[in-house]
Amino acid sequence: MPIRTLVVDDEPVARQVLREQLEEFSDILVTGEAATGLEAVEQVSRLSPEVVFLDLQMPGLNGFGVARALRGEKLPLVVYVTAFEKHALEAFETGAVDYLLKPVRKERLAAALEKVRLQLAGLRLRPAKSQSLEPLKRITGRLGADLHLINLDDVIAFVANNEEVEIITAAGRYHADHTLKALEQRLPAPRFRRIHRGTIINTDHIRKISPLTSKRWLLRMSNNLEAVVSKRMAGVIRETTSW
């Protein structure tokens, strides 16, 4: 069975070169191309490729933005293709299969495709209901132009602020390249719990739980961050953690 593949790059020549390279492999079927991030999201939804070769630097929605925007139970594997080395750590932290530098050498493309084949073989053998994302152990946070690799033990909370998600630690606040929904799927439970629409907390950092009213309780975290939760949520936290 051929591997259905989508090529995404805002440069027509780059798309053509990569497509021709991929078509040299007998088990690869390039089902489509996309020139923008928004077009890529639409093509993934319409064509259901098994793997996407995704350029990082595109106007509007960049490669990371495309990956975050993908929805559905069966998401494609992602191989990033870029001229810049500096995003490799972030790419692998977000679950990329591989990270290829332009111009793409045939042997590196062959190695990336072998990784794709291995992962797809595992997914095809696994029952659909048991497919799950690899739990996070660390997460990349952005602070200005710098990237910081943060251990989950150090994370106090994830807080959504409009379209941005902040990673809150004792050392400071960082920007995450994940939605709260995506984080919730990959954070270890019950230690990390979504207490309401805009916040996920690390229950290991709770220092005090106090009743406010008959229906509301106050959580105080290790950095003095406060969060109001329902009486039911406070009870769930106490039942499933050391509280």
8 or 93, which is more confident = 8
Q: What is the DSSP letter of 214?
A: S
* The pLDDT of residue 72 is above 70: no
Cα distances (angstroms) measured from residue 90 to each of 7, 113, 150, 160: 21, 20, 12, 20
The residue-averaged pLDDT of 55-65 equals 88
pLDDT range class, residue 131, cuts 50, 70, 90: very low
Residue where a domain terminates, one of 97, 130, 163: 130
- Cα–Cα dist 181/53, whole Å: 24
**Axis crossing angle, helix 12-22 with helix 106-125, rounded to the nearest 10:** 70
Cβ count near 118 (within 10 Å): 11
Backbone dihedral angles phi then psi of residue 164, each to the nearest 5 degrees? -95, 150
The number of folded domains in the chain is 2
Residue where a domain terminates, one of 104, 130, 156: 130
Tens digits of per-residue pLDDT, 19-53?
A: 999 999 999 999 999 999 999 999 998 999 999 99
Note the pTM of the prediction, 2 decimals.
0.53
What's 157's domain CATH number?
A: 2.40.50.1020
pLDDT exceeding 70 applies to what percent of the chain?
93
The residue-averaged pLDDT of 187-197 equals 90
Tens digits of per-residue pLDDT, 78-111?
A: 999 998 888 787 777 778 899 999 999 999 999 9
Domain that holds residue 108: 3-130
